[in-house]
Structure 1
Amino acid sequence: MRICIIGAGLTGAVIARELSKTNKHEVIVYEERNVVGGQCYDIKKDNYYESQYGPHIFHTMYKDVWDYVNLFTTIKPYNHKVKTLYNKQLLDWPINTNTMKHFFGYDKTDNELINIINLEKKREEDDGKKIGNNFEDNALLMCGRTLYEALIKPYTKKMWDIEPNKLSSELCKRIPIKFDNNSSFFNDIYQGLPEKGYTNMIQNMLEGVKVEFNVQVNYGNVMYFMKSNDFIINTGNINNLFEDIELPYRKILFVEASKNAYGSTVLNVPEEKFSMIRYTDYANMYGAGISKGIYEIPQTSDYNTVPLYPYPFKEYEDKAMKMKKTLVKSKIYSIGRLGSYKYLNMDQSIGLALDFSKELIKSLI
């Protein structure tokens, strides 16, 4: 059985590894760039690694996924902390009781803060807001209007260039609200950074797998590749496999900063007067001092850079599902963040890739 995998990113590497280690299938990976890594691609800078498409911190609640990643790299402990810039002050992000006290009073106890938030949430309920309606309703019923208007709404509008009440309520799952002073970004049991970067980790996953670079598989030539393969597994942009259907992606312009002006490892910038939405100091992240860092500036879907974020619209998600079903009829499976048009974390991508591989292997026995 000969299987072609499009894309040498995280999802493609996991599937290629799992299928090839059975020694029953010939697996070949086609990568349109000249490097592996996909959106996790990073480069070595002195004694740290700089991600080329935004910060990636590996975190998961699942021990099997954690153990799997550790087969290919050593994960160094890292407790991710983020600040958000508000009126020239750095506040904890995600919102915790330290953040709340900035708005409601530093003399407030945790119980008093909870009561304030609950009162604001009750007003939104009385005003007809409902969980599941849209992103804005969910956010207002999660933290109340004060925090939403100050921090969440402006960041969301800047990130997506769309009114939050038009976005999927599912997006709210990425914004935890903490009623304690824990300033850690993630609550997951397992988290850290690969000591030698993500590119090295993915290279290790692909050890022994044939990878051909600078090969783009698209609508115009996919049937040619289908002739020499029993299956095609697409982990790249699903748009590439269609002639007249296209889903939009939010894109980001990455610009080197002149200096780390705030001393924060990662800084969210929700205020509209700034074009950037996030700043990351990768040297600081790896414990290698302070560097200039990278600014991220959101761009429209037609901007000439790589697609990064699927838009959180149910309409687009339903359209992507139909596109995937169409591809399956031609024995083409589309999976991963770009392949399934889902805003997935790394551990989710790995878990789905492992599950997909197991099911495919079982079906081919």
Structure 2
Amino acid sequence: MKKYDYLIVGSGLFGVIFAYRSKQMGKNCLVIDKRPHLGGNVYCENIVGINVHKYGAHIFHTSNKEVWDFVNNIVPFNRYTNCPVANYKGKLYNLPFNMNTFYQMWGVLTPEEASAKIEEQKAEAVKMLNGREPQNLEEQALTLVGKDIFEKLIKEYTEKQWGRKCSELPAFIIKRLPVRLVFDNNYFNDKYQGIPIGGYNKLIEGLLDGVECLTNTDFFNSEYRDWQKYADKLVYCGPLDQYFNYQYGKLNWRTVRFETETKDCPNYQGNAVVNYTSHDESYTRIIEHKHFEMFGQEVYDCPKTVISKEYSTEYKEGMEPYYPVNDDQNDQLAERYRHLAEQEENVIFGGRLAEYKYYDMAPVIEKVLNIKNI
């Protein structure tokens, strides 16, 4: 029987970057994934010539030049810049909150006018609290940006995301809300951002070139559960609580349901991301996938388009877990499981599921690149 240096459970970014590095170090590994494809949540499926982000929009951004150079060495990235738009009851507002937003909201023309309007509304919220600290998300947001922005661009959108009223959500969820007093619609502050040219599958294929992989292979329902027979070490990227057979109970997640459809037109909404911030629509946003990779005339050279409506929902068994629920109960439970994980010999726990932490893509890559002695 062939024995590997590493058995890697899960082919998301943590797993595939680890596999790539282990291959560079002369180690051999086997990557297994229960899904019928590789790439985890960055996997794209091609529909009418468009790379569709099957598990939600993934926009790569980082200020770490080492990470940016690393991924571009695998596949070059394009110039996509994330500039989402918010639709509130048929009126459009630029995101993140910047001078375009404030002009659309109040008609103000200068940073001084915008700042004065925000400070006026913040003062009303602070007066309402009468000297006490904000007790929930609603009070926290009102003290940061005031009533108008909160009610049109935060309140109902957040309630759709979490399935709870803002007055019932903890204040720490919104520790800060960036306010830009410049006309800048670029959502991220990072120095680098883009999408792999040809889609994320190109990145995954490049990272896994020469690596042995198995799909449709569930770690917990296969021979590989007894992993010591097959490898010296295990890299586990699945759910943290499941590894320990839920012995302390199950961790909670939020998840997302997608409705994807092909439209018989070249340009449906004119932007990759449009958030729907009122309860008038049950979905949180619409993604138009072609705008991640097609620009200018390319948009119209492709006669159809593909959109995905996103519905935030409570996690149920069999769904894909997306967002950890960072309340006191889940944080304490996760810490108990992390303590168990630290005691596991020759097992590396990595990634969003295995660490019960929400990660953007670049920090995951950075974390693996910083692992010594692979």
TM exceeding 0.5? yes
**Is the contact between residue 17 and residue 206 of structure 1 (CA under 8 Å) also seen in structure 2?**
yes
Matches of 1:119 and 1:195, distance apart in 2 = 46
Matches of 1:39 and 1:91, distance apart in 2 = 29
Amino acid at match of 1:348: P
Q: Which runs of 5+ in 2 are unaligned?
A: none
Aligned counterparts, 1:42-191, within 5 A: 42-103=44-105, 105-126=106-127, 127=129, 128=131, 130=133, 135-164=137-166, 167=169, 171-172=173-174, 176-191=178-193
Corresponding residue for residue 288 of structure 2: 281
Matches of 1:263 and 1:334, distance apart in 2 = 41
**CA apart distance, 1:265:** 2.2
SS in 1 for 2:29: strand
**CA apart distance, 1:304:** 4.1
**CA apart distance, 1:121:** 2.5
Matches of 1:48 and 1:94, distance apart in 2 = 27
Relative to 1, partners in 2 of residues 1:237 and 1:328: Cα closer, same or farther, differing over 3 Å?
Answer: same
Question: For each residue in 1:185-216, what CA deviation from the matched residue of structure 2 results, as whole angstroms up to 9, or x when unmatched?
Answer: 21211011101111220121111222122221
Relative to 1, partners in 2 of residues 1:248 and 1:275: Cα closer, same or farther, differing over 3 Å?
Answer: same
Tell me which of 258, 272, 278 is aligned to 1:271: 278
RMSD over equivalenced CA pairs, Å: 2.6
SS in 2 for 1:194: coil
**CA apart distance, 1:2:** 2.3
Corresponding residue for residue 327 of structure 2: 313
Relative to 1, partners in 2 of residues 1:168 and 1:200: Cα closer, same or farther, differing over 3 Å?
Answer: farther
Aligned counterparts, 1:234-273, within 5 A: 234-244=236-246, 245-257=249-261, 259=263, 262-273=269-280
**CA apart distance, 1:273:** 2.2
Matches of 1:114 and 1:101, distance apart in 2 = 12
**Is the contact between residue 103 and residue 109 of structure 2 (CA under 8 Å) also seen in structure 1?**
yes
Q: Which runs of 5+ in 1 are unaligned?
A: none
Matches of 1:310 and 1:89, distance apart in 2 = 32
**CA apart distance, 1:221:** 7.2
**CA apart distance, 1:314:** 4.2
**Is the contact between residue 3 and residue 27 of structure 1 (CA under 8 Å) also seen in structure 2?**
yes
Matches of 2:63 and 2:168, distance apart in 1 = 30
**Is the contact between residue 31 and residue 213 of structure 1 (CA under 8 Å) also seen in structure 2?**
yes
Corresponding residue for residue 349 of structure 1: 364
Matches of 1:327 and 1:223, distance apart in 2 = 16
Matches of 1:192 and 1:178, distance apart in 2 = 22
1:2 to 2:5 alignment: yes
Q: How many residues align?
A: 356
Matches of 2:68 and 2:137, distance apart in 1 = 30
SS in 2 for 1:90: strand
Corresponding residue for residue 16 of structure 1: 19
**Is the contact between residue 31 and residue 215 of structure 1 (CA under 8 Å) also seen in structure 2?**
yes
**Is the contact between residue 47 and residue 306 of structure 2 (CA under 8 Å) also seen in structure 1?**
no
Amino acid at match of 1:346: M
Amino acid at match of 2:121: E
Matches of 2:46 and 2:326, distance apart in 1 = 33
SS in 2 for 1:187: coil
**Is the contact between residue 39 and residue 53 of structure 1 (CA under 8 Å) also seen in structure 2?**
yes
Matches of 2:330 and 2:29, distance apart in 1 = 31
Amino acid at match of 1:307: P
SS in 2 for 1:8: coil
**CA apart distance, 1:20:** 2.6
Corresponding residue for residue 338 of structure 1: 353
**Is the contact between residue 269 and residue 288 of structure 2 (CA under 8 Å) also seen in structure 1?**
no
Amino acid at match of 2:333: K
**CA apart distance, 1:264:** 3.0
**CA apart distance, 1:300:** 1.6
**Is the contact between residue 168 and residue 312 of structure 1 (CA under 8 Å) also seen in structure 2?**
no
**CA apart distance, 1:146:** 2.1
Corresponding residue for residue 197 of structure 1: 199
TM-score, with structure 2 as normaliser: 0.86
TM-score, with structure 1 as normaliser: 0.88
Matches of 1:284 and 1:146, distance apart in 2 = 30
Matches of 1:129 and 1:232, distance apart in 2 = 50
**CA apart distance, 1:91:** 1.0
**CA apart distance, 1:317:** 3.0
**Is the contact between residue 98 and residue 180 of structure 2 (CA under 8 Å) also seen in structure 1?**
yes
**Is the contact between residue 32 and residue 213 of structure 1 (CA under 8 Å) also seen in structure 2?**
yes
Matches of 1:203 and 1:170, distance apart in 2 = 39
Relative to 1, partners in 2 of residues 1:130 and 1:217: Cα closer, same or farther, differing over 3 Å?
Answer: farther
Corresponding residue for residue 310 of structure 2: 296
